Chain A
Amino acid sequence: MSIEGADLIKAAAFLGAGIAMGLGAIGPGVGEGMVAAKACEAIGKNPKEAGLLTRTMLVGQAVAESTGIYSLVVALLLLFVV
């Protein structure tokens, strides 16, 4: 296998993109699940506020999502720009 400078850089960028998106997806997945779990609990306790709770859940999840989107952006930058 012949490994030269440009090839090595590309290989590292590909590996980096996969690891960035893979590890970056763990946190938001677990965090957003926690939000959904607590929202279910809250609706079970107080079903009258279902609309408000759903909205709060979605806003909270959207914020938790941001780090996943950072990972996606970094992965795409590594794939197409670097």
Chain B
Amino acid sequence: MDLLASGQMAAFFSSGICIGLGAIGAAIGEGYTAAIANQAISRSPERSGDILKNMLVGQAVAESASIFALVIAILLLFMDVSGNGGALKSAALLGAGLSMGFGAMGAGIGAGFPGGQACLGISRQPQATSALTTNMLIGSAVCQTPAIFSMVVALMLVFINLGQMPAAPGWAALLGAGLSTGLAAIGSGYGGGLAAGASCEGIARQPKTVGQVTTTMLVGQAVAQTPSIFGLLVSFILMFKSFEASSALAPAMGLLSAGICMGLGGIGPGIGNGMAAEAAARWVARNVGKSDVLMRLMLVGQAVSQSTAIYAMVVSLVLIFVV
């Protein structure tokens, strides 16, 4: 096959994967926001103006993950790969599409939860409208971080200088780098959204607790982001470590497998940590006197749930550095 043509082929294929996968999450998240907004308006039709405004703001934030995917997809469509084709470039471009496509999923779905719960909250507690909108914006902005990590990795893969890298096993390292951050971002984005949604619900129930609830949400979300940070770390190692050229299959499979391992392994702990943070934020609002006990329990529970992400990282690092 003509190597120059293969670079262009990879760019087009990757562009399709990127926006195809990237469109899933935001659409679900925004649909959830709109569904709950309808519920809220049926509860209190007289506040439909505020609720509609809040719904649109929330959906706009949830949209950003898929806009990142659109940007990368358009970049891949129109970039010039004629001068520097080859297997390595093809792998880098494919990795970029996979990273951004998967990476936008969780953040898009997750950012829908605070949007919906803030709408419902406005129908319950109209005087807390501004507190709810602010908390929604903070919560859904933090949900976007895994999608931003994915975009950073995608951009690095598109523009990386492949000068020194051997084609084999370099192709597997670049593909693995994309998968690692992309897949790991799914859980963190979704989990962060669960926490943000519950905090909006809690503020609507007890507007006075807004300080403690937002703090619990942010701490919980920060811990839920760790699996995606592990994913980012493995991606960076795969992109920048120098590998010995080898035509054998095993070293390449080891590097690809390291990316898949960390990527898949980050999904569960991200969601689990988000669930713990969700319950903690919800119950801090209802029982604010015990916020310190709840925060402590949340952190212990999250630490245990994190352990499998750490196992996955250990196996990834063994695959990269030891075997």
Task: Write the residues of chain A forming the contact surface with B, with a CB cutoff of 8 angstroms.
Answer: 1-3, 7-8, 10-12, 14-19, 21-41, 43-45, 47, 50, 53-54, 57-58, 61-62, 65, 68-69, 71-72, 75-76, 79-80
What's the minimum C-beta distance from A57 to chain B, rounded to whole angstroms?
Answer: 6
Asked whether A29 lies within 8 Å of B315 as measured between CB atoms, the reply is no
- A58/B279 contact (C-beta < 8 A), A10-B250, A26-B267 known: no
Chain B residue contacts of A21, Cβ below 8 A? 261, 265, 311-312, 315
Which listed residue, B260, B267, B276, B306, touches A18 by the CB 8 Å rule? B260
> 27 A-B residue contacts at CB 8 Å?
A7-B249, A11-B248, A14-B250, A14-B253, A14-B319, A15-B257, A16-B257, A18-B257, A18-B261, A19-B264, A21-B311, A22-B265, A25-B268, A25-B309, A28-B305, A29-B268, A29-B269, A29-B272, A32-B307, A36-B300, A40-B282, A41-B282, A43-B297, A50-B297, A53-B297, A76-B315, A79-B319
Q: Which of B16-24, B62-70, B285-293 contacts A (4 or more CB under 8 A)?
A: B285-293
Which residues of A lie under 8 Å from residue B253 when comparing CB positions?
Answer: 10-12, 14-15
Q: Is the interface of B mostly helix, strand, loop or mixed?
A: helix
In chain B between 227 and 281, which residues have their CB closer than 8 angstroms to a CB of chain A? 227, 247-250, 252-254, 256-276, 278-280
Instruction: List residues of chain A with CB within 8 A of the CB of B48.
Output: none
With A44-B286, A65-B308 known to touch, is A37 a contact of B300 (CB < 8 Å)? Answer: no
**Which A residues touch B307, using CB under 8 A?**
28, 32, 65, 68
Quick check: A24 and B308 within 8 Å, CB to CB? yes
**When the two chains form their complex, are residues B301 and A25 in contact, meaning their CB atoms are under 8 A apart?**
no
B187 in complex: contacting residue of A29, A31, A61, A69, CB < 8 Å: A29
Contacting residues, chain B, for A25 (C-beta < 8 A): 264-269, 308-309, 311-312
B-side interface residues, number (CB < 8 Å): 65
Instruction: Give the docked Cα–Cα distance between A21 and B243 (Å).
Output: 23
A14/B276 contact (C-beta < 8 A), A25-B311, A68-B307, A79-B319 known: no
Given contacts A14-B254, A28-B268, contact A39 B305 (CB under 8 A): no
Output the least CB separation between A13 and chain B (Å): 8
Closest Cβ of chain A: how far from B289's Cβ, in Å?
A: 8
How far is A16 from B315 in the complex, measured between Cα atoms in Å?
11
Tell me whether B315 and A27 are in contact (CB under 8 A): no
Question: Do residues A33 and B276 form an inter-chain contact, with CB atoms below 8 A?
Answer: yes
B278 close to A37 (CB less than 8 A)? yes
Most chain B CB within a 10 A radius of its CB, from A16, A29, A58, A76: A29
**A57 and B211 alpha carbons, distance in the complex (Å):** 27
Q: How far is the CB of A18 from chain B (nearest CB, A)?
A: 3
Could you say which residues of chain B place their CB within 8 Å of the CB of A50? 293, 297
Those of B302-323 within 8 Å (CB) of chain A: 302, 304-309, 311-312, 314-316, 318-319, 322-323
Q: With a CB–CB cut-off of 8 A, which chain A residues contact B297?
A: 36, 39-40, 43, 50, 53-54, 57
Chain B's closest residue to A35 (CB) is B301
Interfacial chain A residues near B315, Cβ < 8 Å: 17-18, 21, 72, 75-76, 79
